């Protein structure tokens, strides 16, 4: 007799800058006690700790070169091999290319990694994101961050924390810079959206709703509506 355990659910989150994907990944991971692999953080940590793919990546970073895609795949696979990733998980920032998606598909096709696989696409109108992100202002004196739409200072252009007059906008938050970032994201991600759409595993969620509504929509899509955590470990 073998013990009956429910199969894990593996998820990938896609979403443009400003759509709240990282926030949702962390909220949902906390609700269901799951690990999130944030690929950017994983790469930085692998390089810092050294060993395996981290050492290979370091040699590129040290001479100012991009880490080759196959080494990024190696780092992702090393992370997924760790004990905390043997149950359900969420990936944020991986895969970012078809080659990476194929590597992940091969990983999930192994019998010991059997389970459900769902890709959540956080959809948002680009111009709505431009207006959300370009509303971000920062106090040059104490670095407090405001948003003219969602978190304005009590008095316009005056820092509520330190009283400094004259809030500024970072270069990265200028509308044209944001539009370029969104365009780059879209070009990079569309082939992956098509790849997963063809496989019937893609779920699209309206990311411009209230945070709690978005969380509930993702949990419904993943079948986690009853608040029962998923089995893992
Ligand atoms: Zn201030």
* Contact assessment for residue 88 and residue 32, using Cβ atoms and an 8 Å cutoff: yes
Catalytic, 170? Answer: yes
Catalytic, 132? Answer: no
- pLDDT for the residue numbered 230: 46
Calculate how far, in angstroms, residue 158's C-alpha sits from the geometric centre of ligand 1. Answer: 8
Catalytic, 44? Answer: no
Tokens for 188?
């990079």
The structure's pTM equals 0.85
Catalytic residue chosen out of the listed positions 44, 56, 58, 96: 96
Calculate how far, in angstroms, residue 128's C-alpha sits from the geometric centre of ligand 1. Answer: 27
Catalytic residue chosen out of the listed positions 10, 79, 132, 136: 136
Calculate how far, in angstroms, residue 159's C-alpha sits from the geometric centre of ligand 1. Answer: 5
Calculate how far, in angstroms, residue 221's C-alpha sits from the geometric centre of ligand 1. Answer: 41
Tokens for 45?
């940590």
- pLDDT for the residue numbered 5: 58
**∠ CA 123-192-216, rounded to 5°:** 35
* Contact assessment for residue 167 and residue 157, using Cβ atoms and an 8 Å cutoff: yes
CB-proximal residues (5 Å) to ion ligand 1: 139, 141-142, 144, 159, 161-162, 164
**pLDDT tens by residue, the chain, 233 residues:** 444 457 899 999 999 999 999 999 999 999 999 999 999 899 999 999 988 899 999 999 899 898 898 999 999 999 999 999 999 999 999 999 999 999 999 999 999 999 999 999 999 999 999 998 999 999 999 999 999 988 999 999 999 999 999 999 988 899 999 999 999 999 999 999 999 999 999 999 999 999 999 999 999 999 887 544 444 43
3-state secondary structure 55-97: HHHHHHHHCCCCCCHHHHHHHHHHHHCCHHHCCCEEEECCCCC
Sheet of 202-206: strand order equals 36-38, 89-92, 9-14, 116-123, 202-206
- pLDDT for the residue numbered 180: 95
Calculate how far, in angstroms, residue 63's C-alpha sits from the geometric centre of ligand 1. Answer: 38
């Amino acid at each position: 007799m073998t013990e009956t355990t429910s199969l894990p659910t593996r998820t990938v989150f896609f979403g443009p800058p400003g759509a709240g994907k990282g926030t949702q990944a962390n909220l949902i991971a906390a609700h269901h006690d799951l690990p999130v692999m944030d690929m950017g953080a994983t790469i930085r940590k692998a390089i810092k700790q050294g060993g395996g793919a981290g050492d290979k990546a370091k040699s590129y970073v040290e001479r100012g070169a991009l880490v080759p895609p196959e080494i990024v795949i190696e780092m992702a696979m090393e992370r997924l091999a760790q004990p905390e990733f043997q149950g359900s998980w969420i990936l944020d920032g991986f895969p970012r290319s078809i080659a990476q998606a194929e590597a992940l598909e091969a990983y999930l096709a192994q019998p010991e990694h059997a389970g459900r696989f769902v890709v959540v696409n956080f959809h948002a109108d680009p111009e709505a994101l431009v207006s959300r992100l370009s509303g971000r202002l920062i106090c040059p004196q104490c670095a407090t961050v405001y948003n003219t739409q969602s978190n304005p200072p009590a008095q316009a252009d005056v820092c509520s924390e330190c009283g400094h007059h004259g809030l500024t906008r970072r270069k990265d938050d200028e509308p044209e810079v944001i539009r370029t970032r969104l365009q780059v994201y879209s070009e990079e991600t569309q082939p992956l959206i098509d790849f997963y759409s063809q496989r019937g595993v893609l779920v699209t969620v309206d990311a411009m709703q209230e945070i709690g509504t978005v969380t509930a929509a993702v949990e419904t899509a993943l079948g986690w509506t009853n608040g029962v955590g998923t089995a893992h470990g």
